Structure 1
C-alpha cells in the first residue's frame, strides 16, 4: 500500500459471539425502556420494550427450530421495512441459520436466482403480492419447502403468532444451547448486491463482522447514539440494503430507540410524529428537501428571502469549515434567518434532529454546505456491502465537508499504487458465495479492494474521486470521474438522474432524465404553466434553461476538458423496472449507455460535415 491509516480501537470489542448478544446486552441495560417504535395498521405509533422484543425474537427462533431449521440453513425475507423484518432477522441468525434479504422490488426471476444460489429453505413474504411472485417460480426453487406470509389477508392469525406457538414445544435450554453453539466466524447472512455492473453477487457476512462493526460504530459515534434525553433514529430505507440493516444493530447495540417506517410518501409526517434526533438517508432525500423548501418560497419577496438565506447559510458553512467567522452584520442576518427560515426547514425533520448521516452515493458539496449552515451537519460516510455498510464516517466534531470522514475504530484504510481505496479489519466479509475466484480477486492478503479511487490525508480523512470502472477516458486521453458532475447536476429541482458519458469520445456529454411531478412543482413555484407529459417537458424552454444552469454549475467545478459540452434530456425515466436502476436506486451506467447508444451517436456525437 502507498498509504495506510488505522483508527485505533479505544475499547476492545468481544466479537467472537452470536449477533443475538447485541440484543441480550441491551435487555441487561434497559429491559423496560422502549427499543422499537412502529406504526400499526391504523397509523398509530406503538412500541416494544427491549425485553418484549427479545421475547418475540426468542419465540420466533424456537418456532424456526421446531420447523426444522438447522445451523447453516438459509431463510429469506422478502418485505419492506417493518418490525417483523427486524425480529425475523434476529431470530434466524440467533440459531445459526442464514438470513437472505430480498428487495421487495425484485422480480420473480431475481428471487429465483437468489434462492437457487443460496439454497433457501424458507421464505417470509410480506403479503400476497410478494407470495405470488414467489409462487410463479416455486417449481424452479427445489430447496424451498415453505412460504410464509407476514400480512395474510385470509386469516386473523399472523405468521408471527403461528411460529411462536410452534416454538412453545422447544425448551429454553435447547434454544440457548443452540445460541451458544454459534460463534463469531459462523455465517450470519448472505447479502446480494444490487448489481449495477452485472449479475448480483452474494456477499457472506459473519456474526463477527456485524458485532464488531456495530460496537465500532457506537464507539466512533457516541455523540449520536448516547445523548441527554435519549437518541432516536427513524429508519425508512429498505432493510434488504445492508446500510439500513446495519443501523438496526447499531441502534440495538447502543441505547437508541429505533423507529421503523416503510412509506416514503408519509416520511414528513412520520418525522414530525417520531421526532428523531438523527437521521440516515441517501443524498437524494436531502436534495428533495432543499428543492421543496425553495419551491415553497416561490418567487417574489419570499423567494428572494429564501435565496439570500440559503446563500448566507453556505457562507456560514464555508467560514466554519475554514475556521473563520462572519462579520458582525452577517452574524446578525444569520441570527434572523435562523429564526425565520432555518428553524422551519429543520422542523420538516421533527424539530429535534442534530445530525444526519448521508451515504450510498456522492453528496454534492453545495447541499452539504446548505444543511450545515442551517444547523444540520450531513456527516457523509462510506462503505460497502462487503464491510457491513459503514467503514468510515465524519465525526460530529471536526467534520470535513467534501470527505467521507475517518475510519471507524479498529478499521484500516489503504491507498494502493494505482489510487484504489482498500480496507482491512474485522469488518471485511468472508467472501463471495459460490464464487471463490471473486473472493480471490477482491480480498488480497486481508485487503478488500473496493474499486473506488481516492486518497487519505495526514489526519486520516478519506476523499473519494470516483469508481475505477466508471472512469471515463476521452479520445484525447483525459481521465474523467463522472460522480462530481452527476451529483451536482442532480441537485437541480427538475433533474431526476444524470449519467455522464464520453468514453473514447472527443468530449464529455450527459443523458438527463426529469421527473414530471418535480418539474410541475418547480414550474408552479415559478408562476409558469405546467406540462402534461415528459415529452412536452423536454421541449419546454423554461425547463431547458434550468437544466442549462445546473450543467453550468457542475462544469464550474471541473476543468474545460472534463466539462459537459452537450447533453440530451430524455423523455424517458430510469427505473428499477426497466433495468436502468439497481434496487438501491443507483444508475446502471453500462446498461444505459448500451440502450441509448444510437441516440448518443446520432444526436450528441454528430460528425462534422
Structure 2
C-alpha cells in the first residue's frame, strides 16, 4: 500500500459475541423502553419494547428448532421490509442457522439459483405472489423442506403465530444451549450481491462481522444514536440489502427506536407521523425531495423565491465548508429563509431530523450543499456487502462534502499502487460462498480490494474517484470515470437514469432515460402541457432542453476530453424486470450497452462516410 490510514477503537468490541447478544444487551439496558415500531392497520404506529421483542424472537427460534432447523442450516427470507423480517433474522441466527435474504423482486429462476447455491432448508415468503414464484421451481430445489407465508389469505393465523406455537414443544433451556453455542466466527448469513458486474455471488458474513460493524458504527456516531429525548430511525430500504440489515443492528445496539416501512409511495406521510431524528437513504430520495419542492414552487413569484433560497442555501454551505462567513445582508436573508422556506422543507422529514446518512451511490455535491444549507447535513458514507455495510462515514462535526468521510473505529483504509481503495477490518467478510477463486483475488494478505479508485487526505477523509471496472478509456487514451457525470445528470427533475459510455470510442456519450411521472410534474410546474408516454417525452422540446441543461451542468465539472459530447434520450426505462437494473437499483452498464448496441453504433458513434 502506498498510503494507509487507521482509526483506532475507543472501547474494545467482543469479536466472539454473536448477533443475538446485541438484542440481549439492549434488554439489559432498557427492557421496557420502545425498540421496534411499525404501522398498524389503522395507520397508527405500534410496536414492541426490547423485552417484548426478545420474547417474540425466542418464540420464533424455538419454532424453527421444532421444525428441525439445526446449526448451519440455511433459512431464506423473501419479503419487503417489515418487523417480521427483523424478528426472523434474529431468530434464525440466534440458533446458529444461516439467514439467506432474497429480494421480493427476484425472479423464480433467481430464487432457485440462490436456494440451491446456499442449500436453503426453509423459505419464509411474504405473500401468495412470492409463493407462486417458489412453487414454479419447487421441484428444482431439493433441499427446501418447508415454505411459510407471512400474509396468507387462506387463514387468519399468521405464520409468526404458527412458528411460535411449534416452539412451545421446545424447552427454553434447549434454546439457550443452542444460542450460547454460537460464536463470533460462525457463519451468520449468505448475502447475494446485486450482480451489477456479473452473476450474483454469495458473500459469507459471520456473527463477528455484524457485531464488530454494529458497535464500530455506534462508537463512531454516538451523537446520532444517543441523544436527549431518544433517537429514531425510519428504515425503508429493503432488508435483503446488507446496508438495511446492518442498520437494524445499529439501532438495536444503541438506544435508537427502529421504525419499519415498506411503501415508498407513503414515505413522506410516514416521515411526518414517525418523526425520525435521523434518516438513511440513497441519493435518489434526496434528489426527489429537492425536485418535488422545486416543482411545487412553480414558475411564478414563489418559484423565483425558492430558486433564490436554494442558491443562498448552497452559497451558505460552500462558505461553511471553506471556513468563511457570508456578508451581513446575506446572513439576514438566510435567517429569513430559515423561518419561511427551509423549515418547510425540513418538515417533509417530520420536523425532528438532525442528520441524514446517504449511501449506496455517489451523492451529487449540489444536492449535498442544498440540504446542508437548508439545515440537514447529508453525511455521505461508504460500504460494501463484503464489509458488512459501512466502513466510513462523514462525522457530524467537521464533515467534508464531496468525500465519503473518515474510517469508522477499527477500520484501516489503504490505497494500492494503482489507486484502488483497500480495507482491513474485523467486519470484512469470511469469503465468497463456493467461489474460492474470488477469495484469492479480492481478499489478499488481510486486505479487501474494493474495486473502487480513490485517495485519502491528511485528515483521513476518503474521496472516491471512480470504479476500476467502470473506468472508460477513450480511443484517445483518456481515462474517464463515469460516476460523477452520471450522478450529476440524474439530479435533473426529468431524468431517471444516465449511463455514460465511450470505452474505445472517440468521445464520451450517454444513454439517458426519463421518469414519466416526474417529467409530467416538472412540465406542469413550468406551465407546459403534460405528455402521454415516454415516447412523447423523449422528443418533447421542453424536456430536451432540460436534459441538455443537466448535461451542460455535469460537463462543467470535468475537462472537455471527459465531457459528454453526444447523448440519446431513450423512450424506455431501465428496470429489474428487463434486466437493466440490479435489485438495489444500480444500472448494469454492460447489459445496457449491449441491449442498445444499435443506438450506440448507428446514432451516437455514426461512422464517417
Task: State the secondary structure of the residue aligned to 2:279.
Answer: strand
Determine if the alignment matches structure 1 residue 316 to structure 2 residue 326: no
Separation of aligned partners in 2, 1:66 and 1:592: 47
Counterpart of 1:199 in structure 2 is 199
Separation of aligned partners in 1, 2:334 and 2:521: 28
Separation of aligned partners in 2, 1:574 and 1:124: 29
Counterpart of 2:171 in structure 1 is 171
Task: State the secondary structure of the residue aligned to 1:598.
Answer: helix
Superposition pairs of residues 100-119 of structure 1, within 5 angstroms: 100-119=100-119
Counterpart of 2:123 in structure 1 is 123
The offset of 1:388, in angstroms, is 0.6
Separation of aligned partners in 1, 2:209 and 2:597: 42
Separation of aligned partners in 2, 1:473 and 1:457: 26
Counterpart of 1:468 in structure 2 is 468
Separation of aligned partners in 2, 1:389 and 1:219: 15
Separation of aligned partners in 1, 2:179 and 2:440: 31
Separation of aligned partners in 2, 1:60 and 1:41: 23
Superposition pairs of residues 216-227 of structure 1, within 5 angstroms: 216-227=216-227
The offset of 1:199, in angstroms, is 0.7
Counterpart of 1:429 in structure 2 is 429
Determine if the alignment matches structure 1 residue 441 to structure 2 residue 441: yes
Determine if the alignment matches structure 1 residue 66 to structure 2 residue 66: yes
Q: TM-score, normalised by structure 2?
A: 1.00
Superposition pairs of residues 317-466 of structure 1, within 5 angstroms: 317-466=317-466
Separation of aligned partners in 2, 1:43 and 1:190: 34
Query: CA-to-partner distance for each residue in 1:503-522, whole Å, 9 max, x for gaps?
Result: 00000000000011011000
The offset of 1:172, in angstroms, is 1.3
Counterpart of 1:27 in structure 2 is 27
The offset of 1:57, in angstroms, is 0.2
Separation of aligned partners in 2, 1:514 and 1:571: 8
Separation of aligned partners in 2, 1:194 and 1:474: 28
Separation of aligned partners in 1, 2:183 and 2:286: 40
Separation of aligned partners in 2, 1:341 and 1:607: 52
What is the RMSD computed on CA atoms of the aligned residues?
A: 0.5
Counterpart of 2:190 in structure 1 is 190
Query: CA-to-partner distance for each residue in 1:130-164, whole Å, 9 max, x for gaps?
Result: 11110100000000000000111111111111111
Task: State the secondary structure of the residue aligned to 2:389.
Answer: coil
Separation of aligned partners in 1, 2:174 and 2:537: 64
Determine if the alignment matches structure 1 residue 573 to structure 2 residue 573: yes
Separation of aligned partners in 2, 1:18 and 1:484: 39
The offset of 1:170, in angstroms, is 1.2
Counterpart of 1:84 in structure 2 is 84
Determine if the alignment matches structure 1 residue 495 to structure 2 residue 520: no
Task: State the secondary structure of the residue aligned to 1:303.
Answer: helix
Task: State the secondary structure of the residue aligned to 2:561.
Answer: helix
Counterpart of 1:525 in structure 2 is 525
Counterpart of 2:38 in structure 1 is 38
Separation of aligned partners in 1, 2:481 and 2:427: 27
Task: State the secondary structure of the residue aligned to 1:121.
Answer: strand
Separation of aligned partners in 1, 2:159 and 2:462: 46
The offset of 1:41, in angstroms, is 2.8
Query: CA-to-partner distance for each residue in 1:539-582, whole Å, 9 max, x for gaps?
Result: 11100000000000000000000000000000000000000000
Superposition pairs of residues 186-335 of structure 1, within 5 angstroms: 186-335=186-335
Separation of aligned partners in 1, 2:539 and 2:171: 69
Separation of aligned partners in 2, 1:539 and 1:596: 18
The offset of 1:483, in angstroms, is 0.3
The offset of 1:608, in angstroms, is 2.6
The offset of 1:106, in angstroms, is 0.3
Query: CA-to-partner distance for each residue in 1:5-27, whole Å, 9 max, x for gaps?
Result: 00010110112011100000000
Query: CA-to-partner distance for each residue in 1:286-340, whole Å, 9 max, x for gaps?
Result: 0000000000000010010000000000000000001100110000000001111
Separation of aligned partners in 2, 1:608 and 1:119: 55
Q: TM-score, normalised by structure 1?
A: 1.00
Counterpart of 1:553 in structure 2 is 553
The offset of 1:240, in angstroms, is 0.2
Task: State the secondary structure of the residue aligned to 1:292.
Answer: helix
Superposition pairs of residues 145-156 of structure 1, within 5 angstroms: 145-156=145-156
The offset of 1:40, in angstroms, is 1.9
Separation of aligned partners in 1, 2:153 and 2:300: 52
Superposition pairs of residues 133-148 of structure 1, within 5 angstroms: 133-148=133-148
Counterpart of 1:52 in structure 2 is 52
Task: State the secondary structure of the residue aligned to 1:136.
Answer: helix
Separation of aligned partners in 1, 2:423 and 2:34: 36
Separation of aligned partners in 1, 2:533 and 2:88: 43
Separation of aligned partners in 2, 1:303 and 1:215: 45
Separation of aligned partners in 2, 1:41 and 1:566: 51
Query: CA-to-partner distance for each residue in 1:241-266, whole Å, 9 max, x for gaps?
Result: 00001000000000000000000000
Separation of aligned partners in 2, 1:435 and 1:539: 47
Query: What residue ranges of structure 2 are gaps of 5+ in the alignment?
Result: none
